[in-house]
Amino acid sequence: MPTPREPSPKVPADRRPGVEEAEAVLVEHYGRLVRLAHLVLPPALGRHRRVVTAHTVVQDALPRTPAAPRPQDGDAAGDGYVWIRERVLRTALRHERRRRARPYPRLPVVLGLRLSPHAGGAGELALSRALAGVPAAARAALALRLLEGLADDETSAVLAAAGVADPNAALAAAAGLPGLSDGSARVLLAADEFDPSRVQLHPTDLLRRRHRARAAATAAVALLFAASTLTAALVTSDRDRTADDAKPAAPAQPAGSSYRSDPATLRSAPAGKWADTTRLDLTAWPARGARRGDRALLGRALRAWAGSGEAKITTAPGASAAAPTSPPQLLYAADVDGLAVVLLLDAATDRVARYTEPSAGARPALAVARSDDAGVTTAAALVLTRDPGRARYLLAPWIAESGTRDLLRPAERTRPLTPVDGVTPPVPVPSDGRSCASWPVLSLRSSELIVEKHAFLVTDLGELAPAHLTHTPSPDTGTPSRQPREVTGRTALESWARSACLLADLRGDGVRAVNDWVYARQTLPDGAGTATWVCTRADTWRGPGGVRVQFQPPAAAGPPRPGTVVAEREDTAACSRFGQHVVAGARWRSPGGQWYALAAGSRHIVRIRLTGGVSAQAPGPVAAVRAAPATPVRVTAVQSDGATLAPPG
């Protein structure tokens, strides 16, 4: 990316560039301007429309009339760039204020192809979701500060010139994005995820195009027939008309709606697509099951999703029950445990649906859930049927080995499963009751065609797709921060054995993944051993996540005992890549009967203060002070950069 210039943020009217000068500036900085427009445009436009509109906004910034002669002193090229940038920002900001998006602009026009930036990693995805939740002016402020290198006062001036009513509020909203530092955001914004000049090409919906072409041909024939009929009617006298001529015509069917009831429009992936693609999600699943050719069953499933059947419809948190916006993809159709089961995917809206039809004539059911950004692990299985205490799964085609294990018994070995056509036998699932005597999980391993020896765990939380479990080990002094890893080793399994029962509170919340982060270890007073502090974070399919911080005293003999939840919060970036610092406090009684106020923070905490009923501070990430049980204690941590931090919630 070119190094930003440092021109004045506002160009006087007599410094407007001429057409030729503006064209030279635009061509030189085209990629930079398109990236800026793409970041400011509303994400609701969709990936393809946003890319095309970003290029159009920049191309439309070229003035159409010559400028008056202007002085040649000063940085003419810099002033030209600032003038073009202001026009780009003003146009991009206007898109968010429009109630309805205008039709595709003049140029560029892309027919028959869909454009999308290259997919980024977890960091880019989280930043994209965070940016989607703030106004366009805040996105513009972030881009000007980090991509253009402007100071806050220069950014305010540029925003005001572009028509932003409250530039200071936009700057504050940009600075308030959770868990985001200027350094990390600058790196992420420079990634391909936010570069509309580096795109991937995909075909548009081929079946829909074919149907539209047929509909257009049919409409043309109908128009010719209507014209000929009208001509004949005009030359026919009134006395030759009959009563039949006055009958109203039948209402026309909505164009392109056949995919909501016609199984012939269903899409399917080639059987080996998963082994030859970098997009390993539900779109790579082939159609499986003995009834995938049963047009009557598939038609009933489609009509149920369109809302025209008798099925009882339920939705997962954040999912819409609306009919698909394009022909769905067939994933599975067969009889399972006395039910006819159909799995459908609407890739355009990232939703998966399960239609179940009892053989005894009871009311069918349709369950719809989100599948946003599913991957190798989060698209590894879908629930076909669920009974109290057990479930059958359909495994992804890239799963080479499967088994079950009890998360509360880390020393036990995995019991292997033998799926048939990807369908597992009935396997145990966690109990819906309050007891937590066991916590069954699925142990899966990907094919070596995907990645060598990639094993991972997923667990049933009452959703259509099981949740992926990961573990982040405790930090070692002087080593870089560790990333979440799969729950396969002894340390990870023993840690999850003490956190597993917390998963019961996450049922029905639309959880896609849960990470168990051992963020601190603390040597307890009175020689009582070492305690562990754990932050368990649950991320949902719809984006937000929640955390629960546990204090785990030294493990006693016998079955693993869960820790005590000492802090929790919903809709937070804490304990994630964008919230890497955490602190919490707990009350603890030593074996000698003495009560203490304890606190522990993550690796970048340099000091902890305890106030309220006590007054103490300790260097480093842990603290322990004698305090009676009823004494109020407030915990505050100081980070290495001087910022303060309070416990979640």
Using one digit for the tens of pLDDT, what is the confidence trace for 467-504? Answer: 999 999 987 644 556 678 999 999 999 999 999 999 99
Burial 279-305 (b: 16+ CB within 10 A, else e): ebbbbbbbbbbebbebeebbbbbbbbb
Residue 385 has pLDDT above 60, yes or no: yes
- Separation between Cα atoms, residue 638 and residue 320, nearest integer Å: 43
* Burial (CB count within 10 angstroms: exposed 0-12, middle 13-18, buried 19+), residue 453: exposed
CB 361 within 8 A of CB 342: no
**Per-residue tokens: 13:** 């009217």
- Separation between Cα atoms, residue 264 and residue 330, nearest integer Å: 11
**Per-residue tokens: 370:** 């989100």
pTM: 0.64
Lowest mean pLDDT among 211-215, 245-249, 451-455, 554-558: 245-249
- Separation between Cα atoms, residue 41 and residue 209, nearest integer Å: 28
- Separation between Cα atoms, residue 123 and residue 110, nearest integer Å: 30
Give mean pLDDT, residues 225-237: 45
- The pLDDT of residue 113 is 67
The listed range with the strongest mean pLDDT (55-59, 240-244, 271-275, 546-550) is 546-550
**Per-residue tokens: 640:** 């290495």
Provide the pLDDT confidence category of residue 4 given band limits of 50, 70 and 90.
Answer: very low
Residue 102 has pLDDT above 50, yes or no: no
**Per-residue tokens: 290:** 């003995």
How many Cα atoms within 13 Å fall on the side-chain side of residue 601? 28
Q: Which residue stretches of 167-326 are H helix?
A: 167-175, 182-189, 206-234, 295-305
H or E element, residue 143: helix 136-146
Give 175-201 as a 3 state SS string.
HCCCCCCHHHHHHHHCCHHHCCCCEEE
DSSP class of residue 361?
S
Provide the β-strand partners of residue 446. Answer: 399
- The pLDDT of residue 216 is 58
Burial 225-242 (b: 16+ CB within 10 A, else e): eeeeeeeeeeeeeeeeee
Strand 199-203 relative to strand 113-117: parallel, antiparallel, unpaired? Answer: antiparallel
CB 544 within 8 A of CB 550: no
CB 624 within 8 A of CB 597: yes
- Percent of the chain past pLDDT 90, that is, above it, reads 46
- The pLDDT of residue 241 is 35
Give the three-class secondary structure for 300.
helix
Residue 588 has pLDDT above 60, yes or no: yes
Q: Which residue stretches of 279-376 are H helix?
A: 295-305
CA–CA distances in Å: residue 244 to residues 97, 223, 248, 460: 51, 20, 9, 63
Give mean pLDDT, residues 111-140: 73
Any idea what the Cα angle at residue 590 is, between residues 586 and 594, rounded to 5°?
A: 95
Provide the pLDDT confidence category of residue 560 given band limits of 50, 70 and 90.
Answer: confident
Nearest alpha-carbon partner for 472 in 506, 505, 516 = 516
Provide the β-strand partners of residue 468. Answer: 458, 513
Give the three-class secondary structure for 330.
strand
Give mean pLDDT, residues 142-164: 87
Burial 141-161 (b: 16+ CB within 10 A, else e): bbbbbbbbebeeebbbbbbbb
Mean pLDDT of the chain: 82
Residue 72 has pLDDT above 80, yes or no: no
- Region label for 378, one of left (φ > 0), alpha (ψ between -120 and 50) or beta (otherwise): alpha
